[in-house]
């Protein structure tokens, strides 16, 4: 019965492709577009410390991911892990919010491509101005650019995982080379100086508050390393290599963020830079900063790097969102269409098309929508991190005197401690984002869209719950994990 109905993905991903999916998704466009926004919230040192500390916390969380991927190499990631640890209802909760996080970042990358076009070709992009959202002019050209990128990458992902993995690696290498060129320019060119990073933090905010403001967005900044479990069913190698791929992707992403923040803040006294960006109503502050010391050559280099970052983000999160919704469809908590595979390419094309349709809404909201979506994606991802670390905590044992709670239970006091730290960190991220008094609290618009997503999730759950909850435990275990016994 279930065995005949359980679709399985093909094993086609090589280790360096998987590393590129994680790194390219984590670094994305944010390192090239958001540094001025982050510096204005925390000062240069606050951003660099917060972003690197975030990488360390992600590595702690990555311990739980590495273990669970090795024991349960199936697509679905946190949805599957939440099922193992907490049952069906909370598995849907975790999966639905993670779907929000992934889809938000696909939309972000497409919108960032339109933003880049506005910076490089301002007159052309102004053609067909439609309206203004939060002070930002939205034109039909921007909408078309972002929409075209979404459609193209959706079609490429439908064509197959091997193609996606191979191109992801090439894009990631070009991205890294671009960052190295920009850093070299800042070191050897006249103008950029480490003295421009003073004062290190915002004058009217404590250093701790500045660091926490940036630390709160770490789930957004590094979301992408957790694309690795979504692809686990497609590994063409042993699953125990996953933890190393997670760590090295986070190391590379943390360094890439730190370098771009340092380069941006070093071109002139950073408060002066921010004032200049605001007075000139700059579309892309990082691009202006690079142009000030490298000219149009620098703009060309960072434009190529941004395009690569956008492409890796679009590619990586189309992979992850479609695999997640495929796993939820296979478990019968999403409509049957989501568990279908393309007859020719054997890809979960319905999840890809669902992601495309939802994301085509974002370009109509302009630049400000990017920041609203950052907050929402951070919330969805932090919830998923919690379920992963909490499940690992339940499986790890302090000593062999503890009773086994699961067939995968193992004595690992060190890893149990790290999973506990990861669990607490995940809750801390949620507190920073959801408590109104927090320096990193969500804005009103983010709460509204988050509420809409919750209502949509309730509708999906109520529609599918009778079937989902009626399936016997052994059959559900097989549908989600590929084995009947836990």
Cis upstream peptide for 199 (omega within 30°): yes
| Length of the chain measured in residues | 486
Give CA–CA dist 25/332, Å, rounded: 28
Radius of gyration of the chain (CA): 22
C-alpha separations of 145 from 135, 230, 459 in Å: 20, 28, 32
Give CA–CA dist 338/330, Å, rounded: 7
pLDDT at 2: 44
For the chain, 486 residues long, give each residue's pLDDT as a single digit of tens: 444 467 788 888 899 999 999 999 998 778 888 899 899 888 899 999 999 999 998 899 999 999 999 999 999 889 999 999 999 999 999 999 888 888 888 888 888 888 788 878 888 888 888 888 777 778 899 899 999 999 999 999 998 888 888 999 999 999 999 999 999 988 888 778 888 888 888 888 889 988 988 887 777 788 888 889 998 999 999 999 999 999 999 999 999 999 999 999 998 888 888 888 888 777 778 888 888 888 889 889 999 998 999 999 999 999 999 999 999 999 988 888 999 999 888 899 999 999 999 899 888 887 666 667 666 777 888 898 899 999 999 999 888 877 777 777 788 899 999 999 989 988 988 888 888 877 667 778 788 878 888 898 898 888 888 888 889 988 999 989 888 776
Question: Token pair for residue 197?
Answer: 């990073």
Give CA–CA dist 272/278, Å, rounded: 10
Question: Token pair for residue 27?
Answer: 């670094």
Question: Token pair for residue 251?
Answer: 């190391």
Give CA–CA dist 319/340, Å, rounded: 15
13 sits in the region (left: phi over 0; alpha: psi -120 to 50; else beta) called: beta
pLDDT at 1: 46
Give CA–CA dist 395/434, Å, rounded: 29
pLDDT at 84: 92
Question: Token pair for residue 33?
Answer: 């577009």
Intra-chain end-to-end CA distance of the chain, in Å: 19
Give bridge partners of residue 235 from the DSSP assignment.
13
**pTM attached to this predicted model:** 0.88
């Amino acid at each position: 019965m279930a065995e005949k109905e359980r679709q399985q993905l093909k094993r086609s991903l090589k280790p360096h492709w998987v590393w590129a999916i994680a790194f390219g998704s984590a670094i994305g466009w944010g390192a090239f577009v958001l540094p001025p926004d982050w510096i204005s919230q925390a000062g240069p040192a606050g951003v660099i410390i917060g972003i690197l500390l975030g990488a360390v916390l992600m590595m702690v969380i990555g311990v739980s991911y590495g273990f669970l991927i090795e024991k349960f190499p199936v697509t679905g990631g946190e949805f599957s892990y939440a099922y193992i640890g907490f049952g069906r209802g909370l598995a849907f909760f975790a999966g639905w919010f993670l779907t929000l996080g992934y889809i938000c970042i696909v939309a972000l990358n497409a919108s960032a491509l339109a933003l880049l076009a506005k910076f490089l070709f301002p007159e052309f992009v102004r053609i067909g101005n439609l309206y203004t959202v939060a002070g930002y002019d939205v034109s039909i050209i921007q909408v078309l650019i972002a929409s075209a990128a979404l459609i193209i990458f959706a079609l490429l992902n439908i064509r197959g995982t091997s193609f996606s993995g191979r191109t992801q690696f090439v894009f990631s290498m070009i991205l890294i080379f671009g960052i190295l060129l920009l850093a070299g320019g800042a070191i050897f060119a006249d103008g950029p100086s480490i003295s421009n990073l003073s004062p290190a933090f915002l004058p009217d905010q404590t250093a701790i508050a500045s660091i926490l403001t940036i630390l709160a967005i770490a789930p957004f900044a590094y979301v992408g390393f957790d694309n690795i479990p979504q692809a686990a069913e497609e590994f063409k190698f042993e699953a125990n290599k996953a933890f190393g791929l997670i760590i090295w992707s986070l190391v590379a992403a943390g360094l890439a963020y730190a370098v771009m923040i340092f380069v941006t803040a070093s071109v002139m006294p950073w408060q002066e830079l921010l004032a200049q960006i605001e007075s000139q109503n700059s579309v892309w502050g990082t691009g202006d900063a690079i142009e000030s010391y490298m000219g149009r050559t620098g703009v060309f280099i960072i434009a190529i790097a941004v395009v690569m970052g956008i492409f890796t983000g679009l590619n990586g999160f189309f992979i992850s969102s479609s695999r997640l919704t495929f796993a939820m469809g296979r478990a019968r908590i999403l409509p049957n269409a989501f568990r279908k595979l393309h007859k020719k390419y054997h890809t979960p094309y319905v999840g890809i098309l669902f992601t495309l349709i939802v994301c085509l809404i974002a370009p109509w909201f302009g630049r400000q929508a990017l920041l609203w979506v950052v907050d929402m994606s951070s919330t969805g991802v932090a919830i998923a991190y919690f379920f992963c670390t909490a499940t690992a905590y339940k499986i790890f044992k302090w000593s062999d005197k503890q009773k086994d709670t699961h067939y995968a239970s193992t004595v690992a006091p060190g890893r149990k401690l790290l999973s506990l730290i990861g669990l607490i960190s995940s809750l801390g991220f949620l507190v920073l984002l959801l408590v109104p008094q927090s320096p990193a609290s969500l804005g009103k618009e983010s709460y509204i869209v988050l509420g809409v997503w919750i209502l949509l999730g309730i509708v999906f759950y109520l529609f599918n719950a009778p079937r989902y909850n009626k399936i016997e435990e052994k059959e559900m275990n097989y549908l989600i994990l590929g084995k009947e016994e836990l």
